Amino acid sequence: MPDRDTWEKRIKLAERQFYTVRFGMVRLRADLARDITIGHQSPKQLSIEDSEDDLEATYFVRMFADYGRFGKLAEEKNVKQGRKPANS
């Protein structure tokens, strides 16, 4: 199983990516307000509002996915070492 530091680094990476995307969404919204043609579509078609609304949920899904992946790796390590799976 990856150590706690590895897991913490993955979570921090997801957090930095969240803030990067949030920053990008704010800039995109501002740029589209000045010049709608840069998106080649209307903001509604680009789903900017929905994307902004769902950004935190996407971040949490990413966190749980990483957590679950590390849990699975730990379980596989236990099985290789001859230990019973936790859910048996």
Cβ atoms < 10 Å from Cβ of 25: 15
Domain boundaries, given as residue ranges, for the chain: 4-62
Helices marked H in 1-88: 4-34, 43-46, 48-80
The dihedral sign for the CA sequence 60, 68, 20, 45:
negative
Rounded to two decimals, what is the model's pTM? 0.60
pLDDT at 20: 92
Q: What is the pLDDT of residue 23?
A: 93
Each residue's pLDDT tens digit, 21-70 = 999 988 988 888 888 777 666 656 667 777 888 888 888 888 777 776 66
- Which of 72, 75, 22 is closest to 52 using CA atoms? 22
Give the tokens for residue 26: 């704010």
